[in-house]
Amino acid sequence: MNEIKKEMTVPFSSVGADDGQSNQNTDNSIPESKPNINSYKEKIEEMQREIHKSLDPSYMETVTMNQLYDSAYLSKPAIIDNLILPGTYLFVGAPKVGKSFLMAQLAYHISTGKPLWGNEVRQGKVLYLALEDDYARLQRRLYRMFGTDGTDKLLFSISAKNLSNGLFDQLEKFLCNNPDTSLIIIDTLQKVREDLSETCSYANDYDVASKLKSFSDKYGICFLLVHHTRKEKAEDIFAMISGTHGLFGAADGAFVMYKEKRTAKTATLAVSGRDQPDQKLFLMRNEELLIWELDKVETELWKEKPDPLLEVIAEKITVENPVWEGSISDFRDFLPTDITPIQLGMKLNVTAGRLLNEYNILYESRRTHAGRRIKFVLQA
């Protein structure tokens, strides 16, 4: 990092900086009046794809590896660091193991933004469908756990339609009225499933989880689906999820909560997911407040090493200089590496999500008649 600093000789100025300086070589490198043939070609190809999609029902849209690298995909940050991410997750445990108390605890911390077990929490509204409770029981439970410290960002309902008869319409209307929602808890999944007279099948389980996953992906929220374990023991704890493997296969991940003895005051929370490392959390129940406290974590989480490129950007995009805009070539001049503008553009696209989540800097890229323009904006 020090080596990068020493070799940087070109000043990195910003648009709208307090010192009034403007970015160098942003508009003069390529005249705006000169058309970019590649840009026109890409627009024509995009129009052709849209025409094919509308006219040919058998058309399959594909993208090349280079097209993937040419796009910046921004991922949403974790809701609770190292624990809860946007997506659809099963939360599984035997009856009376303490799942609903832990659900209330997660919902409360997210709705208030208070750290949980030493992890940072990003505040958002929470909808808790407590479909096996009544409001009186919820009131007593919450008062025992959190006292008079309430919040308007945690909302409850004890009734909901099922998946095939209006639940998604209800949830869409709720999200329309509450766009800052980050978590929806369905306690339990069985309460919103269709009335199945036939034996559960892999296809049916997969379809249920897929529908919920599509909804969570569309709105960028997290679903926690409370579910039960099967009675039979299994070497793989995630094989104890009730039903077929279709639920776990379609979901983004699962939490399995279990005790060695039903009366034990300790529990283990096993976590597995597509976008997070497997881990085990050992919990202890506070008998006075009925909340779960973290005793220890078995798996030490792997963390990505700092990226020198992102470090350079973070040093230059600051409160004093919150915006920079120019061409890829302009930005390349600030770096002491041998990376080409094309390689740099690919790397910026691939790391755009990390730049936003870790450094709070939004990366934008767009094509103009003069070529590709990029922009870095520090988020408020």
CATH number at residue 101: 3.40.50.300
* Residues 140 and 171 grouped into a single domain: yes
* Residues 189 and 318 grouped into a single domain: no
Mean pLDDT of 2-14: 40
Whether 78 is covered by a domain: the verdict is: no
Over 90: is that where the pLDDT of 271 sits?
yes
* Residues 39 and 125 grouped into a single domain: no
* Residues 92 and 153 grouped into a single domain: yes
Nearest to 348 by CA among 70, 78, 75, 77: 70
Nearest to 267 by CA among 289, 243, 296, 242: 296
Mean pLDDT of 4-23: 39
Show the domain range for 369.
2-57+66-73+305-378
What's the predicted TM-score (pTM) here? 0.78
Mean pLDDT of 17-41: 42
pLDDT of residue 301: 63
Per-residue pLDDT of 276-299, as tens digits, reads 888 999 999 999 999 999 999 987
* Residues 202 and 310 grouped into a single domain: no
Give every CB contact of residue 306 below 8 A, 6+ residues apart in sequence.
Answer: 1
Per-residue pLDDT of 163-188, as tens digits, reads 999 999 999 999 999 999 999 999 99
The larger pLDDT score, comparing residue 147 to residue 368, is at: 147
Mean pLDDT of 26-36: 39
* Residues 242 and 311 grouped into a single domain: no
Q: DSSP letters of 27-95? A: SSSS-TTS--HHHHHHHHHHHHHHHHHHH-TT------HHHHHTS--PPPPPSBTTTB-SEEEEEEE-T
pLDDT band at 40 (very low <50, low <70, confident <90, very high): low
Whether 80 is covered by a domain: the verdict is: no
Whether 311 is covered by a domain: the verdict is: yes
* Residues 166 and 185 grouped into a single domain: yes
d(CA 276, CA 222): 14
* Residues 331 and 226 grouped into a single domain: no
Whether 110 is covered by a domain: the verdict is: yes
* Residues 340 and 213 grouped into a single domain: no
Between the alpha carbon of residue 58 and those of residues 52, 108, 141, the distances in Å are 9, 47, 54
Q: Which of 230-244, 275-289, 296-310 has the highest mean pLDDT?
A: 275-289
Count of the separate structural domains present in the chain: 2
Written as one letter, the residue type at 42 is E
